[in-house]
Amino acid sequence: MSFDLDKWVAENSKGNIVFSFKGELSETMLTDLLQIVEDKLEDIDFSRKVKKKVYNVAIESLQNLFHHSDAIFLNGTKKKTAKYSVMFIKQDNEGFKVTTGNFVTEEKTVFLKKHIEKINSYNRDELKMMYKDILNNQSFSKKGGGGLGLVDIARKSESKIKYNFYSHKNSVSFFDFSIEIKQ
């Protein structure tokens, strides 16, 4: 059975949604979407520190979606060109939850699982060291990343990354992750 994207979106869009995006991201859209996030957060009665963390996580999350989503056949399209992404920012009494989803090849799932598990096993100081190590020693990919985005998200949110992979079809999985930013 193939992954049901509509069901996933419906399930994850419940609650007090501050921001949502569903579709294909372009480079020009990133700035506009971040401005929308910033404007929405400005109107919310939460500490400036928490809202800044949410905004920083949103920046990294949108960049990850833009750079690392893989093309798939979607909604009957004839070409494998759709790089579909989803992002929700929810608010509750305790803080915020940023959830993203995108399609990735099966090969990427192996790297992502190992990378996230390593990140989640580290404490704050170890994450700081990992971040500096990646910055100083790792070569960056063609897309500009060296595994830094998820490390930065974990550092700034001070939370563990929750994630899932849902098998879709044609050696592609839907990858979702969520991170909580508490008061």
pLDDT, one tens digit per residue, over 125-171 is: 999 999 998 888 765 555 555 678 999 999 999 999 999 999 987 78
- In CATH terms, the fold of domain 5-182 is Heat Shock Protein 90 (3.30.565)
pLDDT (mean) for 84-99: 95
Per-residue H/E/C for 121-183: HCCHHHHHHHHHHHHHHCCCCCCCCCCHHHHHHHHHHCCCCEEEEEEEECCEEEEEEEEEEEC
Distance separating alpha carbons of residues 148 and 1, to the nearest angstrom = 34
pLDDT, one tens digit per residue, over 35-47 is: 999 999 999 999 9
> What is the number of other CB atoms lying within 10 angstroms of the CB of residue 159?
20
Distance separating alpha carbons of residues 120 and 103, to the nearest angstrom = 22
Higher pLDDT, 110 or 82: 110
Domain spans, the chain: 5-182
What pLDDT score does 116 carry?
95
Q: Which two tokens stand for residue 1?
A: 């059975």
Task: State in Å, rounded, how far the first CA of the chain is from the last one.
Answer: 40
Asked if residue 108 lies in contact with residue 68, where contact means CB atoms within 8 angstroms, the answer is yes
What pLDDT score does 170 carry?
76
Largest CA distance in the chain: 48
Asked if residue 22 lies in contact with residue 48, where contact means CB atoms within 8 angstroms, the answer is no
pLDDT, one tens digit per residue, over 10-68 is: 999 999 999 999 998 888 999 999 999 999 999 999 999 999 999 999 999 999 999 88
What pLDDT score does 140 carry?
53
Statement: the pTM of the whole predicted model exceeds 0.85: yes
Q: Which two tokens stand for residue 153?
A: 């998200």
Residue 49 burial (C-beta neighbours within 10 Å; 0-12, 13-18, 19+) = exposed
What pLDDT score does 71 carry?
83
What pLDDT score does 139 carry?
54
